[in-house]
Structure 1
Amino acid sequence: MKISISGVRGIYGEDLNLHEVVRFGRLFASFLTQRKKRQCLTARDTRDSGKILLRTLSACLMERGIDVYDLDVAPTPVLFREAKRYGAGIVVTASHNPLEWNGLKFVTEGRGIFEEELNDILQGTVSDPDKFGETYSIKSNYLDDLYNLISVSDNPNDVALGFDLGGGATCGYTDGLFKRLNYKFVCINDTPGISSRAPDPTSDDLSELSFLVRQNKLDFGFAFDLDGDRVVVVHSNGQKQNPDSTLLLCVASALKMGARKFVTSLDTSICIKKLIDRNYGSLEYAKVGEANVVRKMLEVGAEAGGEGSSGGFILPKFNLCRDGLLAAAIISSLDRASIKECLTLGSEYSQIRSKIPVNSSNHQILIEKLLDLLQSESSQISTLDGIKATLDEDSWVLVRTSNTEQVLRISVESKVGKVDYIHKKIMEIVRSVSEHVN
């Protein structure tokens, strides 16, 4: 079972069972009552195990005196936005993980929990309740709020879209939004719990969506993961775009909305910084991870940003999490000149993300040794999250430890045609150092 600021995740019936759900439900309830909070919003994605986990979780919260406001099946971004009104929330989801997985994602103050809050939850004690909570079924205002955010007059009437909902929680929400926005669109895998593709659109080839886009001569295709926080774009030629290109298109739209101050994760593509620089904006980097990006955004007052590696776009004034529906809506409103500029810029760069097995106890020693080796070959070094070595204005490597696996994660970016050489070289260096450390 994985426990991090991204939540609790495991394989249902194995390391994630009802006993663990009861334990974490009670711990989170105590965390809330210690902060004088007596309400919690709940929702789930469409996994088979979601219903029983949500019922168990709700019972634990009510047992501890927490009133539960239930959205039932709803995308994670919907719960995040609604949780601003209720103060806290939990989504039963394993996001893009395989179907046999499930988990709990904790929300407070409309955002994911920070590291110190996770520690408070894990180290807390279950207090005796002074009363029992109640449960209420509620509806969300999310679609109304998103509709009001998007300028309908900017939406070209001749744009046609395709959506692959993956049988996930965006079923019902997607057509509800884009019908109201007056777009022409067609959906596949739009029955909750039923899908012909994998839950993670960043790893699936999205061949069905690509065919749909080409066959119907659509302008864009969008594929969501099971809880709707990430989205992958398919262009009109049927070509699946990498996650950084998804974020690039969102940033272009945010710039048109007036945003100039951005925060992205450290592993985000150079092309996003170049686009922001062209438009006289500023960009600051955060440690990898949605909660880390959000925290940095709040600290510096950023207007937009996200994670390139997951294509996750965050617009703080609307939602303090990655929001796939928001991303699809604002990308669809872009004019063709901006789309061409983004796709041309993005096509100049290539990223490779990989990992090497390394025992967690050796992570820090290995990072320190790599730092000495990379300093001599780099124009700039950042130790914000592992080691990010800037090799030249178009190339960087990032080596960082994993919070969830016994591995080092390695990300490389450079111009197309050069990235393979750099990746091969850094992998050889890391393996050589790792053999001496292990």
Structure 2
Amino acid sequence: MTLIKSISGIRGTIGGQVGENLTPIDAVKFASAYGVWLKQQRQKDQYKVVVGRDARISGKMIQNLVMNTLIGLGIDVIDVGLSTTPTVEVAVPMERADGGIILTASHNPKQWNALKLLNAQGEFLDAVEGGKILDIAEGDTMNFADVDSLGKITKNKAYIDLHIIEVLDLDVVTVKAIEEERFKVVVDGVNSTGGIAIPLLLERLGVDVVKIHCEPNGHFPHNPEPLKEHLTDLSDAVKKHNADFGIVVDPDVDRLAFMDENGDMFGEEYTLVACADYVLSKTPGNTVSNMSSTRALRDVTEKHGGMYEASAVGEVNVVKLMKKNKVVIGGEGNGGIIYPEAHYGRDALVGVALFLSLLADKKMKVSELRKTYPSYYMGKKKIELTPDLDVDAILKGIEARYQNEELTTIDGVKIDFSDSWVHLRKSNTEPIIRIYTEARSQDEADALGNRFIKELEALAEA
């Protein structure tokens, strides 16, 4: 059990010791630090924060602690209740709020929860802002409001509907064309808020929806990370119902993966590739993804006459480079679509609407669509960290060993070979080293990952 404090938020397992897990005291401590930081930054008379959560079992408890901490600081709270990460991101500017907090641990199992922190634009905090909040949390400078200055909580459960309206109003989303195709789609909502939002969106697009695991009770029916090995129920349902394709999201609905009509994975990495292909065909321009994402996005971007660039891993890093390069679409290879015309955040609802628009435009089956893209295969492995392991020294050893190859070191170590690559980095959210590989076949990608596991282990033992 652990508590991880980073710019990605405050993430930990529920229960256990204060300071070592995400206990009620830790939730209050970091919500207080965020509120103090917000007041220091905004310097105004009244403050407002949007708070929402996924359907985790611990969500209601953590949300109540966070909201009451904020009103104790004199900050008003808009409680959007069960929601999605992109919905809260959309709600912050709609409410003209000063910030937002989402209670979710994304793809982590049910014992985890987290505070994801947003600025006034509804975007994740950068490293400097996150560092200031961590400093405040460890200090003793937090002053709370007196009884006449307490904030208030206002409930607003309309924001999923408002978010859907925003998606349907996007110029590139062809609502009538989608309706005419009369798609049939199976949705796996992993018993979280995707089971609310995605079917509502699909129904508004005239799609015949088959729902599995869409009861938002927080009891995840399988590992909530949307990977092939966790999705046998979805595969079976797609084939049983003769559906056009399947959709799965993670618990907070910022990651999106598709399954074709045969019950086979479209490929989580290819969610962004397909959506970018569609957007670039309508509005040519440049793209960005992170260093651990497939080369196929670069290929598709260049096909449409644009330029591709990779950022360090982390949504805030992707967004920063997207703004700098004025890209038309970007995101992360884990199924995270960031479409600036909507907002600067990973959004599965936007991704679903873009994918349906692409299918309506191409008029081909999902399996046929997949064959139109370059074939790369990715391996994702990890090594658990131990307290005595000097990870930085190990990565320096890898860097020295491969100094004659094409290296990128802005985020761990990435080695680009002629027909494959490997990226080694410390996770921001879990105590592990992630090992990403990509090659022209799955066997080659897996073999490359296994090779580097052995090399890392050898360096650790040296």
TM-score of the superposition, structure 2-length normalised? 0.88
Structure 1 position 268 matched with structure 2 position 293? yes
Which amino acid in 2 is paired with 1:5? Answer: I
**Could you say if the C-alpha distance between residues 424 and 53 of structure 1 is closer, same or farther in structure 2, counting changes exceeding 3 Å?**
closer
Within the candidate set 102, 123, 129, 2:145 is matched to 129
**Could you say if the C-alpha distance between residues 358 and 168 of structure 1 is closer, same or farther in structure 2, counting changes exceeding 3 Å?**
closer
| d(CA) in 1 for partners of 2:144, 2:177 | 54
**Could you say if the C-alpha distance between residues 368 and 282 of structure 1 is closer, same or farther in structure 2, counting changes exceeding 3 Å?**
same
Please state how far the C-alpha of 1:268 moved relative to its aligned partner.
0.5
Structure 1 position 294 matched with structure 2 position 340? no
Structure 1 position 423 matched with structure 2 position 449? yes
Which residue is 2:89 aligned to?
A: 80
Question: For the Cα contact (< 8 Å) 1:197–1:204, is it kept in 2?
Answer: no
Please state how far the C-alpha of 1:157 moved relative to its aligned partner.
1.9
Structure 1 position 94 matched with structure 2 position 116? no
Please state how far the C-alpha of 1:404 moved relative to its aligned partner.
4.3
Structure 1 position 29 matched with structure 2 position 29? no
Within the candidate set 74, 78, 102, 1:65 is matched to 74
Question: For the Cα contact (< 8 Å) 2:5–2:134, is it kept in 1?
Answer: no
Structure 1 position 181 matched with structure 2 position 183? no
**Could you say if the C-alpha distance between residues 170 and 5 of structure 1 is closer, same or farther in structure 2, counting changes exceeding 3 Å?**
same
Question: For the Cα contact (< 8 Å) 1:248–1:342, is it kept in 2?
Answer: no
Which residue is 1:147 aligned to?
A: 168
| d(CA) in 1 for partners of 2:122, 2:103 | 16
| Structure 2: runs of 5+ lacking an equivalent | none
Higher alpha-carbon deviation: 39-48 or 325-334: 325-334
| d(CA) in 2 for partners of 1:170, 1:46 | 9
Structure 1 position 370 matched with structure 2 position 401? no
RMSD: 2.1
Structure 1 position 321 matched with structure 2 position 345? yes
Which amino acid in 1 is paired with 2:39? Answer: T
**Could you say if the C-alpha distance between residues 80 and 259 of structure 1 is closer, same or farther in structure 2, counting changes exceeding 3 Å?**
farther
| d(CA) in 2 for partners of 1:50, 1:405 | 20
Which residue is 1:402 aligned to?
A: 427
Please state how far the C-alpha of 1:367 moved relative to its aligned partner.
2.0
**Could you say if the C-alpha distance between residues 116 and 330 of structure 1 is closer, same or farther in structure 2, counting changes exceeding 3 Å?**
same
Higher alpha-carbon deviation: 88-97 or 336-345: 336-345
Which amino acid in 2 is paired with 1:153? Answer: K
Structure 1 position 3 matched with structure 2 position 5? yes
Please state how far the C-alpha of 1:337 moved relative to its aligned partner.
5.0
Question: For the Cα contact (< 8 Å) 1:76–1:91, is it kept in 2?
Answer: yes
Please state how far the C-alpha of 1:195 moved relative to its aligned partner.
5.0
Alignment of 1:159-174 (within 5 A): 159-174=183-198
Percent pairwise identity: 28
**Could you say if the C-alpha distance between residues 218 and 405 of structure 1 is closer, same or farther in structure 2, counting changes exceeding 3 Å?**
closer
Where 2:223 maps in the other structure, the secondary structure is coil
Question: For the Cα contact (< 8 Å) 1:259–1:304, is it kept in 2?
Answer: no
Where 2:191 maps in the other structure, the secondary structure is coil
Question: For the Cα contact (< 8 Å) 1:206–1:240, is it kept in 2?
Answer: no
| d(CA) in 1 for partners of 2:69, 2:444 | 54
Which amino acid in 1 is paired with 2:124? Answer: G
**Could you say if the C-alpha distance between residues 259 and 77 of structure 1 is closer, same or farther in structure 2, counting changes exceeding 3 Å?**
farther
Question: For the Cα contact (< 8 Å) 2:75–2:152, is it kept in 1?
Answer: yes
TM-score of the superposition, structure 1-length normalised? 0.93
Question: For the Cα contact (< 8 Å) 2:164–2:349, is it kept in 1?
Answer: no
**Could you say if the C-alpha distance between residues 338 and 262 of structure 1 is closer, same or farther in structure 2, counting changes exceeding 3 Å?**
farther
| Structure 1: runs of 5+ lacking an equivalent | none
| d(CA) in 2 for partners of 1:122, 1:332 | 41
**Could you say if the C-alpha distance between residues 404 and 44 of structure 1 is closer, same or farther in structure 2, counting changes exceeding 3 Å?**
closer
Deviations 1:47-81 (A, max 9, x none): 12111211111111001011101101011110011
Structure 1 position 432 matched with structure 2 position 448? no
Deviations 1:338-371 (A, max 9, x none): 9567512557221112123455762222222211
**Could you say if the C-alpha distance between residues 204 and 79 of structure 1 is closer, same or farther in structure 2, counting changes exceeding 3 Å?**
farther
| d(CA) in 2 for partners of 1:358, 1:75 | 31
Which residue is 1:303 aligned to?
A: 328
Alignment of 1:245-260 (within 5 A): 245-260=270-285
**Could you say if the C-alpha distance between residues 363 and 73 of structure 1 is closer, same or farther in structure 2, counting changes exceeding 3 Å?**
same
